[in-house]
Amino acid sequence: MSSARKTAIVTGASRGIGKQIALRLARNGVNLVLAARTLEAGSSRWPGSLEETAAAARALGVEATAIKCDVTRRTEVEELCKSALARYAAVDILVNNALYLGPGNYNPFLETAFETWDRNLEANLMAAVVASRTCLPAMLERKRGVILNLTSVVATMSVATPGALGIGAPYAVSKAALNRLVVALALETRAAGIGVFALDPGAVLTERADHEIRTGRRPSIGVRQPMEIPAAAAEYLCCQCPLELSGQVLVARELVDRFNLV
């Protein structure tokens, strides 16, 4: 699938993996609609902003629109996609990267508030459902498109005990449900030439992860790989759309090694 003059929505694009994916797509000539909560520099305790990502993308020769969006709010996700469709008529690539990693995510089950469950399910599952449902009709009409969902190894296995800095049930359950969504949606869209993928980035040293590890808010689980690994894997899936892999949960490091992507 040629990515020239195509349009992508990338959520969680103010920093981290989302930003790196966005810039990879920009280098392939893809126009961008970028979403996150941090619109302007200095408005978050974390480095990075949508405006900075958009500026970097424009320097690569593509159009880039920054839209403030909280993926725990369904109406904002829907409006994000409608704005992209109004501007470009279709979204060729949808990257559901944003996630919820807020207070309570590392708590044991009995210490986890229902609000934490709600936020994880909204951000990590329902945002992808809403965005896919909004963007998919135009993809089906054109018989082309990619829906890429960032998942996690914790959907199938635990890396540490909750309460001892291990991730809790809400995040893991929401990512497991996202994986199942990928399988189900791929069955309905493959014949139309639309690829639906789940990408496990692995343990990645993002700006936020680096800060939280150094301050003891997140477990250090050994060697973390650079953001270029999942970004390169995402670039391959979005720009090549290998339909034989549609519906699968793919590991970034394995894709990079298999296809010599870095």
Give the catalytic positions in this structure: 171
Six-digit token pair at 62? 């593509």
Instruction: Name the CA radius of gyration of the chain, rounded.
Output: 17
Contact 8, 30 (CB under 8 A): yes
241: buried, middle or exposed (CB in 10 Å: 19+, 13-18, 0-12)?
buried
C-alpha span between 235 and 99 (Å, rounded): 19
Contact 127, 94 (CB under 8 A): no
